[in-house]
């Protein structure tokens, strides 16, 4: 749970305690536990499906402030960059639509991929994986450039197809207008 150990206080009370009085028998035995342990018990009970703890119990006010600040920062970021969840899902849908037919059986950047795998295998011997930073960066750049090149080609292909369709529709309209004029 937490990184700190909870401390409990144990008080010996009962017939073995020399300070035990008959009046204390009315109260019964007492067990003192720390606040940390109370929080753990409440948390365990709430996870087990017991009645929820009273409102405000165990809620750190600093957490509320941080959540509120995070919400404000997120809203400001969304306003500044114009990004919302709907926009992101729309953009992702467009990219998926453009890249869905781009699936190819051949791997991307096979030479760089082999270099990365070899580097990691060699680095496993001495445990210094930072040696592979440059190789991984070049693989990342290769993949990014290949993706951009394929996306550009798909966009150009779509633009050519759209232009062809527009020409076809324009020709069909022109032929239809000529046919109306000749029949009229």
Q: Averaging pLDDT over each range in 7-11, 118-122, 165-169, which range is the top one?
A: 165-169
- Quote the pLDDT of residue 12: 45
Query: Considering the chain, what is the average pLDDT of its residues?
Result: 76
- Quote the pLDDT of residue 137: 92
End-to-end CA gap in the chain: 88
Q: Are 37 and 16 in contact (CB under 8 A)?
A: no
What is the SS3 assignment for 49?
Answer: coil
Tell me the chain's radius of gyration from C-alpha atoms: 35
When pLDDT is averaged across residues 34-41 and rounded to a whole number, the result is: 78
Query: Sorting pLDDT into bands at 50, 70 and 90, what band is 144?
Result: very high
When pLDDT is averaged across residues 164-181 and rounded to a whole number, the result is: 92
- Quote the pLDDT of residue 36: 78
What is the SS3 assignment for 103?
Answer: coil
Q: Alpha-carbon distance 102 to 151, whole Å?
A: 8
Q: Alpha-carbon distance 47 to 90, whole Å?
A: 37
């Amino acid at each position: 749970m937490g990184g700190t150990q909870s401390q409990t206080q144990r008080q010996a009370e009962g017939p073995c305690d020399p300070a035990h009085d008959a009046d204390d028998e009315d109260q019964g035995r007492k067990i003192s536990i720390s606040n940390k342990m109370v929080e753990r018990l409440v948390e365990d009970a709430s996870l087990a499906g017991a009645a929820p703890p009273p409102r405000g119990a165990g809620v750190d006010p600093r957490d509320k402030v941080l959540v509120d600040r995070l919400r404000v920062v997120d809203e400001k970021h969304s306003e500044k960059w114009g990004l919302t969840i709907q926009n992101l899902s729309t953009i992702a849908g467009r990219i998926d639509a453009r890249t869905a037919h781009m699936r190819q059986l051949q791997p991307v950047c096979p030479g760089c991929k082999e270099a990365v795998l070899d580097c990691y295998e060699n680095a496993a011997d001495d445990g210094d994986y930072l040696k592979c930073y440059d190789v991984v960066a070049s693989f990342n750049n290769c993949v990014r450039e290949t993706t951009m090149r394929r996306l550009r080609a798909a966009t150009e292909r779509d633009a050519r197809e759209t232009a062809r369709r527009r020409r076809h529709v324009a020709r069909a309209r022109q032929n239809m207008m000529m046919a109306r004029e000749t029949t009229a």
